[in-house]
Chains A and B, each alone.
Chain A
Amino acid sequence: MTDSDLDLIKAVQAESFLSKTGQQAFEVLVKRYQQPLFNFIYRYVGERSAAEDLAQEVFLRVWQAAPRFEARGKVSTWIFKIAYNLSMNEIKRRRRYQDFYKGFCDNMRAESLFPEQRGSRELEQDIMRALAQIPENQRAALLLRVNEDFSYNEISEILNVSPAAVESLIFRARTKLRELRIEN
């Protein structure tokens, strides 16, 4: 199926929930975005089970908000904006109740045993530990740029900041990562 994201959302908007067409269109959208969304949330939040739950919640919100979606922006930025906001809330919630950064690193260490991982475990842990040391908004901006290839304008929509602020966030993230590499 080669429908654009917008076609799929329009199909969801046009059909009632109980219609097969609306459900099929949404299922295509879920299949298209579940993998990149899951990877973004996992790298951002740092825990696999939480990432799956959050990704599921994202799609639930997308479904609920689909009738109100206006085609002014891209569907992908809209979906990632929901994912970012939910992930941010999760990070805040965790920080409130536990030592999040310790959990982040421990989880990454434990979850490196998953068989689908292709890279070196040590390198992966180093990268995730380094990412965990940069502020959340900088981490989100960098991941959206590097892993998802969003433009600065798109990232500014997702994070709800100006494009100049995105430039600054990514610059500071890279500078911090560079410093961490030099230190090690």
Chain B
Amino acid sequence: MKCQDVRKKISAYMDGESGAAMSHRIRQHLSDCAECRKILQDFQETESFIRKLPIYSISPEFTQRVMTELRFDKGTKPAFAPNLLNRILNFFESFFNLLESPKASASIEEFADFPPCSLCKIYFKIL
């Protein structure tokens, strides 16, 4: 197995998701290749850092808050008003999602677009 093939699979191997046959081949390669072993070791060290992130405690009253909210939602809240509000919010959400492009900010190429109505899109995105 070539190094570049092993490196593509090394992450899945680490997670036990590469399958028995592939894992066997990777293990064999790793026993001979110090560079690939180093990558695996780096991945494992990085992972151990993420596992060291502290456990953040949720507020003690969280459960009670959720249950109260559910009782209010199902028991007493009128259904029409929130639904209407949600529909309005969803409409604007969908509208902005339509405007959104995968790029994080406007690039100079976008200004070269024609017709000039694309400026509206850029304007909303910058907003």
Contacts and interface: CB of A to CB of B under 8 A. Distances in A.
A181 B66 CA distance: 40
Interface residues of B, number: 41
A4 interface: no
A174 B62 contact: no
A87 B39 CA distance: 32
Given A63-B70, A167-B12, A124 B54 contact: yes
Interface centre among B39, B55, B127 (most CB of A within 10 A): B55
Given A23-B67, A27-B63, A174 B11 contact: yes
Contacts of B42: 178, 181-182
A142 B100 contact: no
B55 A39 contact: yes
Contacts of A152: 12, 15, 17
Interface stretch (B28-36, B44-52, B109-117): B44-52
Interface in A151-172: 151-152, 167, 170-171
Nearest to B73: A60
Interface in B74-89: 74-75
B67 A30 contact: yes
Contacts of B74: 17, 63
B15 A127 contact: no
Given A48-B56, A174-B46, A27 B67 contact: yes
Contact of A170 (B15, B53, B65): B15
Contact of B62 (A55, A97, A117, A131): A55
Interface in B1-26: 8, 10-12, 15, 17
Q: Which 6 A-B pairs have the closest CB atoms?
A: A171-B11, A117-B54, A38-B58, A17-B74, A116-B57, A177-B46
Given A38-B58, A63-B70, A117-B56, 14 more contacts: A17-B71, A17-B74, A23-B67, A27-B63, A34-B63, A51-B56, A55-B58, A114-B57, A127-B49, A127-B53, A143-B50, A152-B12, A152-B17, A171-B11
